[in-house]
């Protein structure tokens, strides 16, 4: 039977393609040069959603070809390198499995499921096997499975984690990728073949290693490894805790919900948070009485504000009367605010704050002098001094929360012995299976989408559009100083995504296919589809999650 020819648009040019033709096949037959060289076409965007080149085209499709060196290809590169790792690990360690744990140190932290640490020689052998797979240029092809067939495969492979994850999916068919000559299945968009991978390295760190890939948008430039021992210890400790309580992946979390154990979820998670706040308050109390300064920083949507308020509550339990000093009141007048590379006001720059005035007031407060604190008017963009002075008593804790709080340049007048520095972030450790996980950045983005909709009137599209600049500010102003922290607080709650799902999913679904943020919106919806929903009724009013969904017992 004669095949129908369809008109589609590729990079703004209309072409005719036979119905059902995979994009890869079309390029091989008509534009083979696009698939060769150092920067070949690697994936595509069809009607705003990123897809593999195996995607068949349909009439009227708007297709944009994405090359390996494009920033939009980075997630696919990382996913393919993880696929390489999974297959290589099964060859090198047939009696053990490599577990991909979390983002860390410029890459992805991984361990072997055994008590002994990996040796440098073992890590070298694993990397060598990965490079052999790249040299073999094995095709990575999609294959669709019915859910029942997929569950049988996982049972046969004794892959309990993948079985649990798939068991609660509400789809009758799923697409996975196979690497030629390997039984391993991998969920998520892949490059056309292993030979597309250009740059990666395994670096020993702790008992495991960090998998590094290229810098986003620079396929030949390896990302730098950034060892952070205290940070790694916090991440690993939380991972071990989730394993001990049986909540190490999405499948386990769904089982708790299905079995009606949502109260257990909230109580366990909230008790862990409370334990941190109690310990933090005791650390503040141990500071010298001639100065107790608490500096609390973290990236967007990490829950800094609620964390500060809960520490203050526990300080009151210890008999203290903490005072919160807001950095927002120390903004320079709007016309003096530095501008970013796009010419917009850069409110996240340290230069946007009156550092001299802040330190003058800080020193005065800690010495027990009267200080007239500034008040910034966000409508007029100007500040004025309060008519009534503020004075702190000797030993009264002073809490400062903000993105620059851990930057030494913010508080040079205060000796280090008088400071307790706390880094707060939602460090999500929820694995999907052994080789994929929900990223910390995605967890914080869900929080921000919900909060922006609840309290700021922003659509999901508006929040997604702002997110890249938010991330740039974090990379520039927050992450470089996180190692200065005395305490790391993981503000993530193991149960929060099933709760946030109820608010985030419909708002993400409202992002249309013609919206430039459509692709990211669909990615986030796909992540939420892995989880069953959970009613928010069990979330206590003191929970950090209430900062985002509403109903908090605190005033913001």
Asked whether residue 205 falls in the same domain as residue 256, the answer is no
Q: Look at residue 27 in the predicted model and tell me its pLDDT.
A: 95
Q: Could you tell me the CATH number of the domain that includes residue 44?
A: 3.10.20.30
**If you average pLDDT over every residue of the chain, what do you get?**
93
Q: Do 141 and 247 contact (CB within 8 A), yes or no?
A: no
User: What is the rounded distance in angstroms from the CA atom of residue 525 to the CA atom of residue 508?
Assistant: 7
Q: Look at residue 256 in the predicted model and tell me its pLDDT.
A: 94
Asked whether residue 296 falls in the same domain as residue 311, the answer is yes
Asked whether residue 91 falls in the same domain as residue 54, the answer is no
Chain-centre distance for alpha carbon 505: 18
Asked whether residue 159 falls in the same domain as residue 193, the answer is yes
Q: Last residue of a domain, which of 226, 250, 284? A: 226
Q: Classify residue 319 as left (phi > 0), alpha (psi -120 to 50) or beta.
A: left
Asked whether residue 297 falls in the same domain as residue 408, the answer is yes
Query: Please, what sign has the CA dihedral across residues 75, 76, 78, 82?
Result: positive
Q: Do 440 and 446 contact (CB within 8 A), yes or no?
A: no
Asked whether residue 184 falls in the same domain as residue 271, the answer is no
Q: Percent of the chain, pLDDT > 90?
A: 75
Burial class (CB in 10 A: 0-12, 13-18, 19+), 12: exposed
Is 479 within a domain? yes
Is 175 within a domain? yes
Is 376 within a domain? no
Q: Look at residue 408 in the predicted model and tell me its pLDDT.
A: 93
DSSP state string for 418-455: GEEEEEEE-----BSSSS-B--HHHHHHHHHHHHIIII
What domain range includes position 31?
Answer: 5-67
Is 361 within a domain? no
> Is pLDDT at 143 greater than 80 in this prediction?
yes
Query: Please, what sign has the CA dihedral across residues 72, 73, 79, 82?
Result: negative
What is the per-residue pLDDT across 504-520, written as a single tens digit (0 to 9) for each?
999 999 999 889 999 89
> How many CA atoms are closer than 13 Å to the CA of 480, on its beta-carbon side?
9
Q: Last residue of a domain, which of 197, 226, 255? A: 226
Is 375 within a domain? no
Is 24 within a domain? yes
Asked whether residue 220 falls in the same domain as residue 243, the answer is no
Q: Last residue of a domain, which of 226, 255, 276? A: 226
Q: What is the mean pLDDT of residues 368-381?
A: 92
Q: What is the mean pLDDT of residues 239-266?
A: 92
What is the per-residue pLDDT across 103-127, written as a single tens digit (0 to 9) for each?
988 999 999 999 999 999 999 999 9
Asked whether residue 59 falls in the same domain as residue 112, the answer is no
What is the per-residue pLDDT across 30-48, written as a single tens digit (0 to 9) for each?
999 999 999 999 999 998 8
Q: Could you tell me the CATH number of the domain that includes residue 88?
A: 3.30.980.10
List of long-range contacts for 446-449, beta carbons under 8 Å, 24+ apart: 446/497, 446/500, 446/504, 446/524, 446/528, 447/301, 447/303, 447/496, 447/500, 447/548, 448/300, 448/301, 448/548, 449/503, 449/504, 449/507, 449/508, 449/524
Q: Look at residue 1 in the predicted model and tell me its pLDDT.
A: 46
Is 371 within a domain? no
Q: Percent of the chain, pLDDT > 70?
A: 99
Q: Look at residue 443 in the predicted model and tell me its pLDDT.
A: 92
What is the per-residue pLDDT across 291-350, written as a single tens digit (0 to 9) for each?
899 999 999 899 999 999 999 999 999 999 999 998 889 999 989 999 888 888 888 888
Domain count, the chain: 3
Q: Look at residue 2 in the predicted model and tell me its pLDDT.
A: 54
Q: Look at residue 161 in the predicted model and tell me its pLDDT.
A: 85
Is 343 within a domain? no
Please, which residues bridge with residue 296 across strands? 401, 422
In 3D space, the residue among 299, 311, 252, 309 whose CA is nearest the CA of residue 402 turns out to be 299
Asked whether residue 44 falls in the same domain as residue 105, the answer is no
User: What is the rounded distance in angstroms from the CA atom of residue 130 to the CA atom of residue 152?
Assistant: 28
């Amino acid at each position: 039977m004669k095949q129908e020819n369809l008109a589609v648009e590729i990079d703004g040019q209309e072409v005719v393609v036979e119905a059902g033709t995979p994009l890869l096949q079309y390029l091989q037959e008509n534009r083979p040069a696009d698939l060769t060289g150092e920067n070949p076409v690697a994936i595509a965007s069809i009607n705003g959603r990123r897809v593999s080149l195996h995607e068949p085209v349909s009439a009227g499709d708007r297709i944009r070809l994405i090359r390996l060196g494009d920033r939009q290809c980075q997630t696919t590169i990382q996913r393919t390198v993880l696929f390489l790792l999974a297959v290589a690990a099964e060859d090198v360690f047939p009696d053990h499995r490599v577990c991909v744990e979390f983002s860390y140190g410029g890459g992805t932290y991984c361990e072997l499921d055994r008590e002994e640490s990996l040796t440098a020689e073992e890590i070298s052998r694993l990397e060598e096997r990965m490079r052999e797979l790249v040299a073999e240029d094995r095709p990575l092809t999609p294959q669709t499975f019915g859910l029942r067939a997929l569950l049988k495969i996982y049972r046969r492979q004794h892959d309990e984690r993948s079985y649990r994850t798939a068991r609660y999916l509400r789809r009758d068919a799923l697409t996975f990728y196979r690497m030629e000559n390997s039984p391993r299945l991998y969920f998520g968009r892949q490059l056309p073949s292993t030979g597309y991978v250009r740059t990666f390295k395994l670096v020993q760190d702790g008992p495991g290693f960090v998998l590094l890939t290229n810098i986003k948008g620079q396929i030949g430039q390896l990302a730098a490894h950034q060892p952070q021992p205290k940070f790694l210890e916090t991440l690993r400790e939380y991972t071990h805790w989730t394993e001990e309580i049986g909540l190490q992946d999405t499948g386990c979390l769904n089982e708790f919900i299905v079995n009606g154990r949502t109260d257990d979820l909230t109580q366990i998670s909230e008790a862990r948070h409370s334990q941190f706040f109690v310990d933090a308050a005791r650390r503040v109390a141990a500071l010298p009485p001639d100065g107790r300064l608490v500096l609390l920083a973290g990236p967007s949507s990490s829950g800094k504000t609620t964390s500060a308020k809960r520490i203050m509550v526990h300080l009151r339990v210890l008999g203290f009367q903490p005072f919160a000093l807001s950095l927002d009141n120390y903004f320079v007048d709007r016309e003096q605010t530095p501008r970013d590379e796009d010419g917009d006001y850069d409110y996240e720059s340290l230069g946007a704050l009156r550092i001299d005035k802040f330190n003058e007031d800080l020193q005065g407060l800690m010495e027990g002098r009267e200080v007239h604190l500034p008040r910034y008017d966000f409508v007029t963009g100007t500040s004025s001094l309060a008519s009534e002075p503020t004075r702190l008593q000797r030993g009264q804790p002073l809490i400062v929360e903000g993105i620059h709080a851990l930057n030494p340049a913010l508080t040079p007048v205060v000796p280090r012995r008088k400071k307790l520095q706390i880094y707060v972030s939602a460090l999500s450790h929820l694995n999907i299976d052994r080789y994929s996980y929900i990223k910390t950045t995605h967890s914080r983005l869900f929080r921000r989408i919900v909060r922006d909709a609840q309290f700021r009137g922003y659509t999901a599209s508006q929040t997604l559009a702002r997110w890249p600049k938010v991330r740039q500010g974090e990379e520039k102003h927050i992450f470089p100083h996180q190692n200065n922290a005395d305490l790391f607080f993981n503000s993530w709650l193991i149960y929060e995504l099933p709760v946030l799902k109820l608010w985030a999913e419909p708002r993400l679904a409202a992002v249309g296919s013609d919206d430039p943020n459509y692709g990211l919106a669909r990615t986030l919806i796909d992540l939420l589809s892995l989880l069953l929903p959970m009613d928010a009724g069990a979330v206590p009013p003191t929970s950090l999650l209430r900062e985002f969904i509403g109903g908090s017992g605190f005033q913001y």
